[in-house]
Amino acid sequence: MQAVESSPMNRPVKSIVVLTGAGISAESGIATFRASDGLWENHRIEDVATPEGFARNPQLVHHFYNQRRQQLLQDHIRPNAAHMALARLEHEFPGEVLLVTQNVDNLHERAGSRKMLHMHGELLKMRCQESNLVFDLREDIGFDSVCRCCQTIGNLRPHIVWFGEMPFHMPQITRALESCDLFMSIGTSGNVYPASGFYQIARSRHAHTVELNLEQTASSFEEHICGPASEIVPEFVERVLCSVQSP
Ligand code: OAD
């Protein structure tokens, strides 16, 4: 682990907001988005992660998310030590902890996190475009799948926030950012708005801001800790829990 920049948390911490991105699930075997050439599992973002792409070719988009869902359900895809450490933080920290994830996998829940929000949706859910009702989903769906609520063909879509759409839970996330004392950003490149601006909201309210990532991104956090999430997140959680225990 390499501490690029370090500053002590010299403020009492009562409320924490944690933001996670694809990097926290990388060591569990799920590919990040911008790992190499900007393609997501060999597809252009415009084709598989926009409402226009879905309107143009719904079969391709369904097939793409069916593949991601089936990958997530494979036995070897499991939460890693970083997911576990955040669940521990939620259960052992005496104040408020809100976990906000950009990830559409279910690894945080499987690690034991409960107070969490999926701002970009969930792979294991689908939505009726007519009623907006959301259903659990483990099997494949296609353009010809019949919706469980309206019994119509062609109304189902993945419960995923695509580019150009409003992320979920923004009022609740903004309120938590405005009142937190510590903001942790883990495994996200900071390329996608509005999550990329969360640290600025927290900082404007005098929270301590920390980035934990394989490499330092362009965003100016007060503290940057570089390394694999499975190592640096458990260490940082230990530090936070020790700091509230010591007088
Ligand atoms: P990215 O793929 O853009 O960034 C992943 C970040 O994780 C990079 O900064 C990597 O350096 C870092 N990283 C990789 N492996 C790591 C490890 N083992 N430990 C720690 N850090 C590691 O993913 P996101 O920032 O999450 O949106 O992308 C944000 C959004 O863009 C996604 O939610 C998705 C995508 O388009 C939607 O699907 C709506």
In which band, very low, low, confident or very high, does the pLDDT at 12 lie, cut at 50, 70 and 90? confident
**Does the beta carbon of 226 sit less than 6 angstroms from any atom of ligand 1?**
no
**Does the beta carbon of 179 sit less than 6 angstroms from any atom of ligand 1?**
no
Q: Which amino acid is at 24?
A: I
Mutational pocket test of ligand 1: of 18, 189, 235, the residue with most ligand atoms within 8 Å of the beta carbon: 189
**Does the beta carbon of 213 sit less than 6 angstroms from any atom of ligand 1?**
yes
> What is the mean predicted confidence (pLDDT) over 119-125?
98
Which residue's CA is the closest to the ligand 1 atom numbered 23?
A: 22
What whole-number distance in Å separates Cα of residue 170 and Cα of residue 118? 10
CA-228 nearest atom, ligand 1: 19
95-108 per-position pLDDT tens digit: 999 999 999 999 99
> What is the mean predicted confidence (pLDDT) over 142-149?
90
> In the prediction, which pLDDT does 29 show?
93
> In the prediction, which pLDDT does 247 show?
56
In which band, very low, low, confident or very high, does the pLDDT at 2 lie, cut at 50, 70 and 90? very low
**Does the beta carbon of 187 sit less than 6 angstroms from any atom of ligand 1?**
yes
Centre of ligand 1 from the C-alpha of residue 72, in Å: 16
In which band, very low, low, confident or very high, does the pLDDT at 224 lie, cut at 50, 70 and 90? very high
- Does 37 have pLDDT greater than 70? no
**Does the beta carbon of 188 sit less than 6 angstroms from any atom of ligand 1?**
yes
- Does 5 have pLDDT greater than 70? no
**Does the beta carbon of 46 sit less than 6 angstroms from any atom of ligand 1?**
no
Centre of ligand 1 from the C-alpha of residue 149, in Å: 34
- Does 75 have pLDDT greater than 90? yes
**Does the beta carbon of 161 sit less than 6 angstroms from any atom of ligand 1?**
yes
CA-188 nearest atom, ligand 1: 25
Tell me if the pTM is above 0.85. yes
> What is the mean predicted confidence (pLDDT) over 13-34?
93
Centre of ligand 1 from the C-alpha of residue 40, in Å: 11
> In the prediction, which pLDDT does 11 show?
72
Which residue's CA is the closest to the ligand 1 atom numbered 30?
A: 192
